[in-house]
Amino acid sequence: MAQLIADKRDVDFVLYEQLGAEHFEKTARYKGQNRKMFDLLLKEARNFAIKEILPLNEEGDRIGLKFENNQVQVPESFHRVYKLFREAEYISMSEDPEVGGQGLPVLVTQAALEYLLGADFAFSAFGFATHGAAKMIEIFGTEKQKQLYLRNMYSGRWAGTMVLTEAEAGSDVGALTTSAVKNDDGTYSITGNKIFITCGDHNVTENIIHPVLARIEGAPAGTRGISLFIVPKIWVNDDGTLGEPNDVVCTGIEEKLGLHASPTCQLAFGGKGKCRGVLLGEENKGMRVMFHMMNEARLGVGALGLCNASCAYLYALNYARERV
């Protein structure tokens, strides 16, 4: 097939003729960037998606995940491709170079994502869940938090998640029971159980950074009393080195719409009383912070629907053309 994931002519039409992406070079922020640069990015993203990511789709579906001793292992083939994915800096394409990004327009990087996400979301989710978590730290974090986490997450060295849902508090997030108790050193002891955590545990990266919604002891009921905490799977020391495991345990893998290679997990925080987190943003205003990632995820889910529909259509079209 000439087109496996997205129709290049259609992508170019929307990007340049409909939305005029070539005009970015006239702006101060994107001065020096031009269509030639954008086309090169899209060509490389398309080639990488077709040659490296797309084969993982069938293999991941066939092999699936391993869950042993509360640890999740992804298919072995994912590791090499994720290393290449990191080296290409796809997670931080639109971020400022000061935090390790490429500084490209979101409009253009979204076109690249049409190939990357469309090839295999079970794989690509490892990078793009991380982006949303890192963006919250960039916007709402302290200087120390940015120094410790941003480059490691935007580079894909560490992964990120979004931790909201509980078994008894699904759509009603305000009913959550996960608690946070402030310690003398300024950290918080976190205790609770969460479900439906995309890429909640895996062996793709050396650390996983969990933004966790919890209620500080004595805080108001409902969403007014929810705070947000950075809870690493492996504790991050003040000098940026990794410390001890942080009492974050995967208790099971969820079934997720046939995505057999996507580790959507149930997580237990503080089962041994040794889980620590640091406050992200202000006390009792965690939903305000988390909504930034939730809104990014909503837009991403819409784009993912487009990617899957495009890929499915092109395969069906090719089948119709070849069938006798």
Domain of residue 19, CATH code: 1.10.540.10
Both 115 and 164 in one domain: the answer is: no
At residue 128 the predicted structure's pLDDT band, cuts being 50, 70 and 90, is: confident
- C-beta atoms surrounding 13 within 10 Å: 12
CA 142 vs CA 3, 14, 281: distances in Å: 45, 39, 8
**Residue 2: predicted pLDDT:** 52
- CA-closest candidate to residue 168, choices 159, 160, 177: 177
DSSP characters for 116-143?
A: HHHH-HHHHHHHHHHHHHHHHHHHHS-H
Both 137 and 13 in one domain: the answer is: yes
* CATH number of the domain enclosing 176: 2.40.110.20
Q: Between 3 and 233, name the one with better pLDDT.
A: 233
Average pLDDT over residues 250-268: 92
Let me know if residue 121 belongs to a domain: yes
Both 100 and 164 in one domain: the answer is: no
Tokens 């007014």 map to which residue? 224
User: How many domains does one find in the chain?
Assistant: 2
Both 168 and 46 in one domain: the answer is: no
Residues 236 and 315 sit within 8 Å (Cβ to Cβ): no
- C-beta atoms surrounding 278 within 10 Å: 19
**Mean pLDDT, the chain, whole residue set:** 94
Both 130 and 225 in one domain: the answer is: no
**Residue 166 DSSP one-character state:** B
At residue 100 the predicted structure's pLDDT band, cuts being 50, 70 and 90, is: confident
Let me know if residue 14 belongs to a domain: yes
Rounded to the nearest angstrom, the gap between the alpha carbon of residue 178 and the centroid of all alpha carbons in its chain is 22
- pLDDT at residue 228 tops 60: yes
**Residue 258: predicted pLDDT:** 80
Let me know if residue 257 belongs to a domain: yes
Both 22 and 73 in one domain: the answer is: yes
Supply the range of the domain harboring residue 215. Answer: 160-286
**Quick one: the chain helix, strand, coil %, rounded to 5?**
45, 20, 35
At residue 259 the predicted structure's pLDDT band, cuts being 50, 70 and 90, is: confident
E strand intervals along the chain: 66-68, 71-73, 158-160, 179-182, 188-197, 207-216, 226-232, 234-236, 242-245, 248-253, 265-269, 276-279
Supply 110's token pair: 């979204």
- pLDDT at residue 1 tops 60: no
**Residue 181: predicted pLDDT:** 98
Both 246 and 303 in one domain: the answer is: no
Let me know if residue 20 belongs to a domain: yes
Residues 229 and 279 sit within 8 Å (Cβ to Cβ): yes
Let me know if residue 147 belongs to a domain: no
Residues 226 and 173 sit within 8 Å (Cβ to Cβ): yes
230/42 Cα distance (integer angstroms): 34
CA 179 vs CA 110, 153, 212, 216: distances in Å: 37, 26, 10, 6
Average pLDDT over residues 45-63: 94
**Residue 153 DSSP one-character state:** H
Let me know if residue 1 belongs to a domain: no
The model's pLDDT over 155-214, given as tens digits with 9 standing for 90+, comes to 999 999 999 999 988 778 899 999 999 999 999 999 999 999 999 999 999 999 999 999
Distant-in-sequence, close-in-space partners of 299: CB < 8 Å, separation ≥ 6? none
Both 282 and 296 in one domain: the answer is: no
Let me know if residue 150 belongs to a domain: no
**Residue 185: predicted pLDDT:** 96
Q: Give the percent of the chain with pLDDT over 90.
A: 90
